[in-house]
Amino acid sequence: MNGSTVAGARGSVSTYLSSPKMVVIDNTSSIYVLNSGSYCVWKFFPGNATIGTVIIKGSSGKNIKQFSSISAMTMDNDGNIFFLDSGSTRITKWNIPQNTTSLVINGSSFLNSNTGSNDFLLNPLGMFIEMNTMIIWIADTNKHRIVKWLNQTTVQIIVGCYGTQSNQFKYPYNFFVDVENNYTLYVADTYNHRIQMFLKDQTNGTTVAGITSYYGTQLNQLWTPTAILVDQNQFMYIVDNGNSRILQWKAGEQFGKLITGTYTSGGSGSDQLSNPWSLTFDTIGRLYVVDYGNGRIQMYNITCLSTNDTMSPLSSTTTTTTTQPNAFSECDTPIWSSNGITEAGSSIGDYGSDSSHLNTVYDLWLGSNDTLYVLDSGNYRVQLFYPNQLSGITVIKSSFGSSPNQFALMHAMAIGSDGSIHILDSTNARLLRFPRGSSNGTIVAGGNGVGSALNKLNYPFGFFLDPITLYIWIADTTNCRVVKWMSKTNITLVAGGSCGPEADQFLSLYDVFVDTDDSNTIYAVDAGNFRIQQWFQGATNGTTVAGQSGVKGSGLTQLSDPSAVVLEKSKIMYIADAGNNRILRWIIGSNYGSVIVGTDSYGNLPTQLYRPQRLRFDSKGNLYVLDNMNYRVQKFSLICYPSTAISSQLSTSYSSSATSMASSTKSTTTTTSISTSTATTSSTEPITLSTTTSIPTSSTESITSSTIVAMSTVLQGSTEASATSTSSSFSSFYLKISLTIILIYHLKD
């Protein structure tokens, strides 16, 4: 929905809003804006967003007319304005006509009526005042609770402490008290990414919007919500700050409806927002949004919300593989579970420095017995995780610096057959080798300073290690080249050498994979050109084998900031498509790939990724993905279906899997949609079935119906890759039709 700017104008000195936090509309439709960055309140008259008047001008300090950090503002029926100063934990009342100021809450300690002991507020961010009684409700944010201020010395704790349970919060920013509905309390539980509803006198809440701890961009998810209002029809209006959007959500529904904010990364268009902070209504039902990042107030007329302003729920998809990778020879039809299991780090995307958390992760490696090594760059360490153990063991611990046991930026890692760990220290332009069990490394490549000479590196991002010969191919990123280091004195330029979009150039070269079984053919992740380049040994030009050169996109023929590629012996590439938050399977020679894990939105659900950085396969064919911005490693289990049994077992497989899913998962919706294309023997994009996300209630993995139905696409992709005769294509066509009919029949049931 398009909004109109009613206050604030970037670049206009007279109306510049540096950091607006709150807006209040009076009975004359005049607009009052809390501009917290300059400790002032602007008043704008209806119809003129470019001319405003400062009616309150404060400053930084502790005096009665000064502030530390203003977080909230409200107005009573007499036009008095109340401010919550979170920095000094006090509330002041400003009488505008008389130009007087008084303290309502003085910021000192108080008596906790629940415990009988002294207590205090800590960075409160939200308030609500019952004007007839002057009882004040406060979101005591850093103490993770909602409190009710009865008088200057006594406070009642309504609900809350730190945590994820139904009576707990993580940094609640704001709330709404539905006075007309028996004081029902709605809390924007910001860092649990949800809205909690509490009936009067109840201490256990109900999640009425969002999914606890799972942030994301789908319409059943929230990302750090900062405010909520509820109208007389029990529709919630939620400021989904992290997604730069406003949602309308009916309590009891599983999905919200988009009102405005069409670009989750933020924008400045009339239908876009940038980190909105709060919202309010006027007396005739118009919605006003504080568009914090754009320094403006946007108004929306939502009294007659049209169907064009709604969005259907986004759903997770799983697409089947198309031919049989040699690495998974026990599978006639290999696919991967759509739900990932966290093998390292936090399942909900938290970061930290203890043994069960990670911080700024860039690479992973799978050792013997599928032990997992993680390059925990933000903590300057390498962590070892044994299967089913979320507590890591530090095998290399370092610090910032340039000595042989220090790093500036650990960006890639590999382990040789002798157990030595190789770490690419990007900023120090070198690659270090750590013998097994040693915490002191030796330089095996680079280390000659940053530069363009052949024996120097310039912020390299990735490398490939031949585990037998220990030869190293380095993606020398800023030099736009791949260099092969056989020793510190035997160095060869093998690809690229200048920056640009041409076939013999790279731009933001991110990683490299070498097919040592095929004359050391190179597969280069040319991220800045949104492509994968195949470069034969001795060639002077590369060939684009995935993506469209210079074209960034989300279609199955396109890539967006690819970050890694792995090649199977069957000449099938697996690509970490970071900008699209997915892993693609791409047959060399095909003009499109297929999604094997990830959804069409980013987040921290088991089905979602957030800028995946690297990927590896274990000895059983399970896929491990370094989920960079979620600070975790996700494992997607390989699932095998013998092709000879597909037609006879598909019906029972679908039924039993659906039963298993219902017993072991929580389904966020029952809506299912099918995207189809005409069944022909020519090359077409895969048919996919989309279902909504399933959240495992335990470590048991679930197979969604999309996993089963996606098998019907196998023959379609196989036609492109391996069809060799008219008869085989003819058989593939009819088997594909029969599978689809069976599946649609089960969906109807």
pLDDT tens figures, 388-431: 889 999 999 999 999 988 999 999 999 988 889 999 999 999 99
Residue 326 above 80 pLDDT? Answer: no
Residues 6 or more apart whose CB falls under 8 angstroms from that of 242 comprise 215, 222, 223, 224, 275
Residue 643 above 70 pLDDT? Answer: no
Q: Phi, psi at residue 172, to the nearest 5°? A: -70, 125
- In order, the DSSP letters of 216-258 are BSSTT--SS--EEEE-TT-EEEEEEGGGTEEEEEETT-SS-EE
Residue 726 above 90 pLDDT? Answer: no
Q: Phi, psi at residue 83, to the nearest 5°? A: -120, 135
Is there a contact between 34 and 75 (Cβ–Cβ < 8 Å)? Answer: no
Comparing 305 with 301, the larger pLDDT belongs to 301
Q: Answer whether 0.75 is exceeded by the pTM.
A: no
pLDDT tens figures, 477-516: 999 999 999 998 999 999 999 999 999 999 999 999 999 8
For position 359, what pLDDT does the model report?
95
Reduce the DSSP state of residue 539 to 3 states and report it: coil
Calpha distance 724→183 (Å, rounded): 71
- Side-chain half-sphere CA neighbours of 459 within 13 A: 7
Calpha distance 321→572 (Å, rounded): 10
Mean pLDDT of the 472-481 span:
97
β-bridge pairing 154-159 and 110-112: parallel
Distances in Å between the Cα of 586 and the Cα atoms of 169, 442, 719 are 43, 37, 14
What is the overall mean pLDDT for the chain?
81
Beta strands in 86-234 (DSSP E): 90-95, 100-105, 110-112, 118-119, 126-130, 135-140, 145-149, 154-159, 174-178, 184-189, 194-198, 206-210, 227-230
Q: How confident is the model at residue 439 (pLDDT cuts 50, 70, 90)?
A: confident
Is there a contact between 226 and 258 (Cβ–Cβ < 8 Å)? Answer: no
Residue 290 above 60 pLDDT? Answer: yes
Is there a contact between 198 and 208 (Cβ–Cβ < 8 Å)? Answer: no
pLDDT tens figures, 307-318: 333 333 322 332
Calpha distance 638→546 (Å, rounded): 24
pLDDT tens figures, 372-390: 999 999 999 999 999 888 9
DSSP H or E run through 739: helix 726-748
Calpha distance 306→279 (Å, rounded): 21
Count of Cβ atoms closer than 10 Å to residue 663 Cβ: 10
Question: HEC states along 39-89?
Answer: CEEEEECCCCCCCEEEEEECEECCCCCEECCEEEEEECCCCCEEEEECCCC
Question: HEC states along 653-666?
Answer: HHHHHHHHHHHHEE
Residues 6 or more apart whose CB falls under 8 angstroms from that of 88 comprise 62, 67, 68, 107
pLDDT tens figures, 227-247: 999 988 889 999 999 999 999
Domains of the chain, start order: 64-159 (2.40.10.500), 344-567 (2.120.10.30)
- 597 token code pair: 């894990």
- 466 token code pair: 């031949």
Q: Phi, psi at residue 385, to the nearest 5°? A: -125, 120
Closest listed residue to residue 122, CA positions, set 106, 135, 104, 140 = 140
Residue with tokens 């390498």: 382
Residue 683 above 50 pLDDT? Answer: no
DSSP H or E run through 706: helix 705-709
Comparing 306 with 354, the larger pLDDT belongs to 354
Residue with tokens 């400062």: 54
